Chains A and B, each alone.
Chain A
Amino acid sequence: AQRVTQPEKLLSVFKGAPVELKCNYSYSGSPELFWYVQYSRQRLQLLLRHISRESIKGFTADLNKGETSFHLKKPFAQEEDSAMYYCALGFSSASKIIFGSGTRLSIRP
């Protein structure tokens, strides 16, 4: 079955510490992976996607097809990074996009 798994409901780190939010997917085709973020009282919005190979707000994510993972990383956390983060999977037919259950990232000062 096609699935996105985010094993951590909550991740709490100190400001300046490295951050890694885990995401694993289950899909036999060619996946397209995304990270979406929802800041307090804001809409869900795209943070980054693997095909762009970009770094947004210091975050990066590498698609590892062998481990079926797309972990989100940032070397030095900032307080404004506190938010809900959702990993999402798009399918090779450019059809629907499905989401994981999300990880709440809390940055302690």
Chain B
Amino acid sequence: DTGVSQDPRHKITKRGQNVTFRCDPISEHNRLYWYRQTLGQGPEFLTYFQNEAQLEKSRLLSDRFSAERPKGSFSTLEIQRTEQGDSAMYLCASSPDPGTHNEKLFFGSGTQLSVL
């Protein structure tokens, strides 16, 4: 197992275009998280899944953002009508089912989005 995989590594797009990122978690990990990170800041929570169910979405997240995990395995994050402010590193993380305690997060290398 090579860990959490994200694709693409880099994405350059023009303002107004739609983009989609993919995350393949560690197999058998029930939880999948999306975070966004800008320069000088820590990872900002976007949303998370328990299997295929999206359990929480950040209130700060615009309606232009949508995430899916259709079969409880890989996940996609789509940004519609991109804006320059969307430029950031998008991180995916997965973890085993937490049970009563939060489990360790395993992070991917991220997708760096640049909106021109």
Q: Do A and B come from one complex?
A: yes
Q: Which of B35, B56, B101, B107 contacts A45 (CB 8 A)?
A: B107
A33 closest partner in B (C-beta): B102
B57 closest partner in A (C-beta): A96
Q: Is the C-beta of A95 less than 8 angstroms from some C-beta in chain B?
A: yes
A101 contacts B33, C-beta separation under 8 Å: no
Cα–Cα distance between A17 and B109 once the two chains are bound (Å): 32
B41 contacts A97, C-beta separation under 8 Å: no
Q: Report the interface size class on chain A.
A: 20 to 34
B104 contacts A97, C-beta separation under 8 Å: no
Cα–Cα distance between A100 and B42 once the two chains are bound (Å): 6
Binary contact readout A18-49 vs B (1 if CB under 8 angstroms, 0 otherwise):
00000000000000101010000001111001
Cα–Cα distance between A82 and B108 once the two chains are bound (Å): 21
Q: Is the C-beta of B45 less than 8 angstroms from some C-beta in chain A?
A: yes
Q: Is the C-beta of B43 less than 8 angstroms from some C-beta in chain A?
A: yes
Also in contact, A86 and B43, with CB within 8 A (given A43-B108, A95-B48)? yes
Report which A residues bind B (CB closer than 8 A).
4, 6, 9, 32, 34, 36, 43-46, 49, 51, 86, 90-91, 94-102
